[in-house]
Amino acid sequence: MEPWLDVIAVLLILANLRLLGTSRLSVCIQTVAAQALLLGAVPLLMHADELSARLIAIAAVYTVIKAIVLPWLLRRAARELGGTREVEPFIGLTLSLLVGMGLFGVSLFLAGPLKRAGQGHSGLLIPVALFTIMVGLLVIISRKKAITQVVGYLVMENGIYVFGVAFAVQEPLLVEMGVLLDVLAAVFVMGLTIYHISREFDHIDTDRLSTLKD
Amino acid sequence: MATAVSILHVVLALVLAPLLLGVINRVKAKFAGRRGQPLLQAYYDIAKLLRKGAVYSRTTTWVFRLGPIVSLAAVVASLLLLPLGAVVAVVAFPGDLLLWVYLLGLMRFVTVLAALDTGSAFEGMGASREVQFSLLAEPALLLGLVALAAWSGGLSLSQLTGTHSTGWLTGTAGAITLLVSASWLAVLLTENARIPVDDPNTHLELTMIHEVMVLDHGGVDLGLIQYAAAVKLWVFAALLAGVLLPVRTAWPLVNLAGGVAGVLAVAMGVGVIESTMARLRLLRVPQMLVAAAVLAALAVVLVLR
Amino acid sequence: MSLYVAGLIVLLVGGAAALVAGRRPLANTLGALTAVAGGLLTLVSSAATLAGGAGAQWDLMRPWAMPGGSLHLGMDELSAFFAICISLISVLAAIYGRTYLADQQGRRHLGASWLFYNVLLASMLGVVASRNALLFLVAWELMSLSSFLLVMFDDKQPGVVSAGWTYLVAAHLGTAFLLVLFLLLGSSGSLEFSDLAAGPNLAGVCFVLALIGFGTKAGLVPLHVWLPEAHPAAPSHVSAVMSGVMIKTGIYGLLRILMLLGTPAIWWGYVLIGLGAISGVLGVLFALAQHDLKRLLAYHSVENIGIIVLGLGLGVLGAATNQPAMAVLGFAGGLLHVFNHAIFKSLLFLGAGSVAHAAGTRDLESLGGLLKRMPTTGATFLIGSAAIAGLPPLNGFVSELLIYLGAFGSAAARAGVTVYGAVAVILALGLIGGLALACFAKAFGIVFLGEPRTAAAAGAHESPAAMRWPMVVLAGLCIAIGLGCPLVAEALRPTVYAVAGALGLSVESDSPANEGMALVRRVLPYISLVAGALLVMIGGAGLLRWRLLRGRAVEPGLTWDCGYAAPTPRMQYTASSFADPILKVFRRLIRQQRQVHPPEGLLPAEASLHTHAQDPFTEGGYRPAFLAVMWLSGQVRRLQGGRNQVYVLYIALALLVLLVWKLGL
């Protein structure tokens, strides 16, 4: 199953790049969902020879929540809030892609020393985890809308999940806790940002919040 | 035996190249529910053009007349350097991949100059777009070559796609193969002026790229240009098929047959893309090519890590 | 030896004689004649040295009254190689220059012009032959001064004076760094090259000093700002010499210092590759944005210096990490590109001079259709354009191929961390290649093809034979080197080995460095073969076309232009419009000022578009303090921008820095 882990890692990278390269909000949400779907499979693949019910349950819960429930919520939020269907980036999409490629280089560089500490499964898992976290940050930084910031947050979470899986394989409980916390935090943050901001200001373009500064 | 098969590949390519256009058009016709033009239409067109006389604009010089000749010679020379999967090229040496890339550059250069020689604004515009897009396609092509060179440890195109099998669609090897293929597919579509970059069927000069560059060519010259374009399509399709196809047997003839089937399959794939995709806005094309380069760069990183 | 010195003496005496002849026509003839004679003498002498091996090298030392100085000349493989480049181009440019200047006879003091030209040649030849640091610096300064005075030749033209001064200031700044460099290297007391050595831990400092000092002369970004000003301002045969060979003395100096410093550090290679890539890509992008033919060519010199430095960087990287094959290929490619660029760049500058001479303007938008009026200039310019764009079967391709091969070889061997340097080289060369193709399609296409855009261009005439022949010879060399590349590489081998050997690689006949040369020997015959086959096939296709068209109607007509029956030359695509989409893609690297007056109303009367490409380095150079203050105040304001994206950016950056710091080092 190891080779397939590599393939999944590559697909995760591609999902990240797609996230950076697309101009459509709906594609963004789709991509995050697809990424979560892939992530659900990672622990299963890593322990393909010793599958336990608990492992499968964790994967299932994670997949259902992050790949189905949250994207559905996001989509609903996007629809209800109206506005354009574009992501409205601060920096161009092409530049985003190139920056993304640069970040991947950085994460490979950083993963070098970390790999020794990690479990040495697929050599790509840790760089991909770092890369995913950075892309999440990049999306938060470089996109205007609140909803894209939530997307960025979810991507970052995906990255942290990969990180956890890569490091704490023998500690399923840790992963479980992580998953549950993830979910809680995600729902919480999303609810807060989107609904709160939109109630106060009637729109969810954080760019306009900067009028507050003076 | 192996050399004979290599030469046979060049002969087959020279003979079958216009067929690719027929295959693409057939696929498009099927998608549209039409019967479509005959499979051999491109041959009829070229033969008819070669029977005609010529009209040359008074503005043009010998550069205009030289364009089609040099581009045909350059693309045929690039064919000599081209392997087809396990069928090695007629001329193979370390570094031939660069000569191959730059021969296609020569073809582009003379085509662009011939377009500028007419003094027509439309052809100038096509020339400008052609150099813009192909220069952006270059990094993707080169990075793909770097990835495969590092993967196979060879410096010759024939080693890149031939003797060293890249594995097939599993594990890291598969990831690399798929990434490079996806990247090169974008290059193929760009270099050969297909949808979503350029529409070979368009009739509005303002939106055309390759077709508008050859607007003033007629008769024999246009026939040579269309033939050279068909060979160029073969060249890129063969490169792609060589990377993607798993036919690596001990029998050269089987390899050749598999390769040719692969080239036809790539043509069908192009037909499917043309039927299902809309043309990109011109401003979006650079973005697609940068994305292609990023995919190839990813493949490089995967190999070298 | 005596030939070389005799050549130098002929140059200096001839220059002085021309000065005495003053404004008389004799001065023009005398100056050109002695330049040719002196150049031929040094050409023969240095070629004999390179061909004759170690036995033909020489060393000549005479005492000099200067403290620490001596009149110490010498000739080894590296010096001989550069002396060949200098002599060859100078001779051809002098032949061209005599006719080029002929219409100024009697009106201008041509004697002075030829004195400076001859002194420039002699000082360049002196620079490459000096074996004493003081003598080297004197020759170096003479070179700068004489070329400065040549640039100022047309001082009545607007812009020339400021260009000259920019050049002089830049040249002196560069020399200041060289002064410090030689003081550091000569800390033992002697300034003879053979005694120079970097003190402990000072090698890196010396490298940086040499890079800045010589990089200024070579025109490396960001030290290039003088180059696009000064080169176009000079008379064209001088531009050819300055762009073709004078800037290469910077490369010579860099190589000489590298050879003195011995085994390099890895980061030198990365620095060279980085600077080479930046110079190459930015140089060609700036070139693409120019409207002035000679300015365009000057920016291309920046690009080609970038390619050369990429080659050297690969070589240094290979020497530092003991990858002899990569090092040899890098150095071979870089050095061959020095030679090739000398040939095609001087060819192009001479062509540009002929165009300016014939049409009275160098503005691309005013030219057009010149191929019919100037067939020889046009044909040779086309060959030069294809060569500089690196297209087979010409010489530019060969040198780029060698650099590519070195980089691809390293990638294919997956040789450690240097692989990423190699990939950077490949990527940079690929981008440069595509952009150069676009740029020269524009330059040749707009100037020589289509219809003339102004009356001046329509009235252009072919230059006299004495101006055409040097161009034909240079174009012939482009083709000959492309087809005969194995022989050229063989002739270059001693120089490559000398450099590689001095940088700590073993170049014995059975050592791994020979792998690189063996690869060159194996590959280049194939290049000749395919190039020959290509020419045969072009002939074949031409024959086919001729057979098919024989006896059929071939009629002249109008350009179709989509049915529009009365096109005027002003409706042609322009140089700016050709380059615009590409420049838009790279708009983050190159800023264009645009003044647009779009057509308005139902019956638009006048509309205009004016673009001007700024060189950000020049702009930054003029007001660095001002910009710094602006930047600082901007940052302070931005710090409290009130955007939460920016706050997250700070956090992310801080985290990234921490991560890199903790994990990376």
Mean pLDDT over C633-637 rounds to 58
End of a domain among C202, C224, C253? C253
Whether the per-residue pLDDT at C196 is higher than 50: the answer is yes
A23 Cβ under 8 Å from any chain B Cβ: no
C285 CB near a chain B CB, below 8 Å? no
Ranked by mean pLDDT, the top range of B209-223, C141-155, C427-441, C592-606 is C427-441
End residue of a domain, out of C198, C222, C253: C253
pLDDT band at C665 (very low <50, low <70, confident <90, very high): very low
CA A144 distance to own-chain centroid? 18
Q: Do C559 and B119 touch (CB under 8 A)?
A: yes
Q: Is the pLDDT score of C652 beyond 80?
A: no
pLDDT at C623: 46
Beta carbons of A106 and C660 less than 8 Å apart = yes
Which of A115, A126, A137, A141 would you mutate first to test chain C, the one with the most C CBs within 10 A? A141
Phi then psi dihedrals of residue C60, to 5 deg: -135, 125
Among B30-44, B119-133, B170-184, whose mean pLDDT is lowest? B170-184
The interaxial angle of helices C248-261 and C485-502, nearest 10 deg, is 40
Coil, strand or helix: which one is B155?
A: coil
3 state DSSP class of C323: coil
Please check whether residues C248 and C390 belong to one and the same domain: no
Q: Do C409 and B116 touch (CB under 8 A)?
A: no
What gap in Å lies between CA C462 and CA C469, rounded to an integer?
12
Q: What are the φ/ψ torsions at residue B56 (nearest 5 degrees)?
A: -115, 135
| Reduced 3-state DSSP string for A64-116 | HHHHHHHHHHHHHHHHHHCCCCECCECCCHHHHHHHHHHHHHHHHHHHHHHHH
d(CA B145, CA C430) in angstroms, rounded, equals 12
Q: 3-class DSSP state for residue C55?
A: helix
Owner of token pair 């990858």: C323
| Rounded Cα–Cα distance for residues A44 and A52 (Å) | 9
Question: Amino acid identity, residue C288?
Answer: L
Specify the pairing of strand C58-63 against strand C70-75.
antiparallel
* Tokens 């030359």 sit on residue: C569
| Chain C residues close to A197, C-beta within 8 Å | none
Clarify whether residues C515 and C654 are in a common domain: no
- Phi-psi domain of A83 (left: phi exceeds 0; alpha: psi -120 through 50; beta: other): left
User: Average per-residue pLDDT in chain B?
Assistant: 90
Q: Does pLDDT of B151 surpass 60?
A: yes
pLDDT tens-digit readout, C494-509: 999 999 989 988 776 6
Element spanning C180, H or E = helix C160-185
Average pLDDT over residues C54-81: 86
Buried b (16+ CB within 10 A) or exposed e, C211-247: bbbbbbbbbbbbbbbbbbbbbbbbbbbbbbbbbbbbb
Report DSSP letters for C359-398, one per residue: HS--BGGG---HHHH-HHHHHHHHHHHHHHTT-TTSHHHH
* Range with the poorest average pLDDT among B291-300, C125-134, C627-636: C627-636
One domain for residues C646 and C525: no
**Is the CB of residue C125 less than 8 Å from the CB of residue C86?**
yes
Contact A2 B290 (CB under 8 A): no
Distance from C-alpha of C139 to C-alpha of B194, rounded to nearest angstrom: 58
Quote the pLDDT of residue C639: 53
A118 pLDDT more than 80? no
Query: Scanning every residue of chain C, which has its alpha carbon at the shortest distance from the alpha carbon of A205?
Result: C643
If pLDDT is split at 50, 70 and 90, which confidence band does A163 have?
confident
pLDDT (mean) for A40-49: 76
Q: Is C455 on the interface with B (CB under 8 A)?
A: no
Count: domains in chain C: 3
φ and ψ at A87, to 5 degrees?
Answer: -85, -15
- Residue C249 shares a structural domain with residue C323: no
**Residues in C touching A109 (Cβ below 8 Å):** 660, 664
User: Is residue C477 within 8 Å of B149, Cβ to Cβ?
Assistant: no
Give the pLDDT of residue C262.
Answer: 87
Q: Kindly give, in sequence order, each residue whose CB lies less than 8 Å from that of residue B226, ignoring residues fewer than 6 positions away.
A: B18, B42, B45, B46, B49
Write phi, then psi, for C132 (nearest 5 degrees). -130, 135
Position A61 confidence tier, pLDDT thresholds 50, 70, 90: confident
C458 interfaces chain B, CB cutoff of 8 Å = no
Residue in B102, B122, B150 closest to C392 by CB: B102
Residue B117 has which token pair? 């020689």
pLDDT of residue C659: 65
ω into B38 cis (within 30 of 0) = no
Q: Is B175 on the interface with A (CB under 8 A)?
A: yes
Domain containing C414 equals: 319-542+572-596
pLDDT average, residue stretch C638-665: 61
pLDDT of residue B64: 95
pLDDT at B165: 53
Which range (A167-176, C3-12, C119-128, C556-565) has the least confidence?
Answer: A167-176
Find the CB nearest B132 among C522, C526, C582. C582
Give the whole-number percent of chain C exceeding pLDDT 70: 91
Q: With contact defined as beta carbons under 8 Å apart, do C310 and C500 qualify?
A: no
Q: Give A-chain residues touching B286 at CB under 8 angstroms.
A: 94
**Confidence (pLDDT) at A180:** 66
Q: By the CB < 8 Å criterion, does A2 face chain B?
A: yes
Closest by CA position to C577, among listed B132, B210, B125, B284: B125
pLDDT for C397 beyond 80: yes
Which of A6, A45, A106, A124 to mutate to test binding with chain B, by most B CBs within 10 Å of its CB?
A6
The number of C-alpha atoms within 13 Å of C295 and in the hemisphere containing its C-beta is 21
Nearest by CB to residue A6, choosing from B171, B291, B297, is B171
Domain boundary among C223, C253, C283: C253
Tell me the pTM.
0.90
Tokens of C477: 């060399």
User: Is the pLDDT assigned to residue C562 strictly greater than 90?
Assistant: no
Angle subtended at Cα C51 by Cα C47 and Cα C55, rounded to the nearest 5 degrees: 110
Contact state of A210 with C643 under an 8 Å Cβ cutoff: yes
Give the tens place of pLDDT for each residue, B225-258. Answer: 999 999 999 999 999 998 888 777 888 899 899 9
Amino acid C271: pLDDT: 95
**Which residues, numbered 584 to 613 in chain C, qualify as contacts with chain B under a Cβ-Cβ cut-off of 8 Å?**
585
The Cα–Cα gap between A178 and A188 comes to 15
Same domain, C523 and C639: no
Per the structure, the complete domain to which residue B13 belongs is given by 2-304
C369 neighbourhood in chain B, CB within 8 Å: 59, 119
Given CB atoms, is A104 within the 8 Å cutoff of chain B?
yes
Could you say which of B179, B287, B302 has the minimum Cβ distance to residue A93?
B287
Residues from chain A contacting residue B171 (CB–CB below 8 Å): 2-4, 6-7
Q: Do C519 and C647 fall within a single domain?
A: no
pLDDT tens across C520-547, in order? 999 999 999 999 999 999 999 999 999 9
Q: Where does the pLDDT of residue C626 fall: very low under 50, low under 70, confident under 90, or very high at 90 and above?
A: very low
Residue B162 pLDDT grade (very low, low, confident, very high; cuts 50, 70, 90): low
pLDDT number for residue C527:
95
Percent of chain B with pLDDT over 70: 96
Segment among B270-274, C216-220, C595-599 with least mean pLDDT: C595-599
Distance from CA of C427 to the nearest CA of A (A): 14
Q: Kindly state the tokens that stand for C597.
A: 């007056």
pLDDT at B204 over 80: no
Question: What's the pLDDT at A115?
Answer: 61
| CA closest to C643 among chain A residues | A210
Q: Mark whether C340 and C239 lie in a shared domain.
A: no
Q: Smallest Cβ distance to B77: which of C534, C548, C553?
A: C534
- What is the 3-state secondary structure of C560-594? CHHHCCCCCHHHCCCHHHHHHHHHHHCCCCCCEEE
The DSSP secondary structure of C479-496, one letter per residue, reads HHHHHTHHHHHHHHHHHH
Reported as type and span, the H/E element at residue C610 is: strand C608-613
Q: A interface mutation test: which of C281, C645, C657, C662 has the most A CBs within 10 A?
A: C645
Q: What percentage of chain C has pLDDT greater than the value 90? A: 56
Tell me the residue type at B64: F
Tokens representing B231 are 């060979």
* Mutation for testing the B interface, residue in A1, A10, A106 having most B CBs under 10 Å: A10
DSSP state for residue C59 in the 8-state scheme: E
Cross-chain residue pair C649–A109, CB shorter than 8 Å: no
Looking at per-residue pLDDT, the higher value among C570 and C384 belongs to: C384
B257 min Cα distance to partner chain C (Å): 27
Question: What's the pLDDT score for residue B2?
Answer: 79
Mean local confidence (pLDDT), B101-115: 96
Among the ranges given (A109-118, A159-168, C375-384), the one the predictor scored with the smallest mean pLDDT: A109-118
Q: How many domains does chain B have?
A: 1
| Mean pLDDT (whole number) for C592-619 | 75
Helix (H) / strand (E) containing C612: strand C608-613
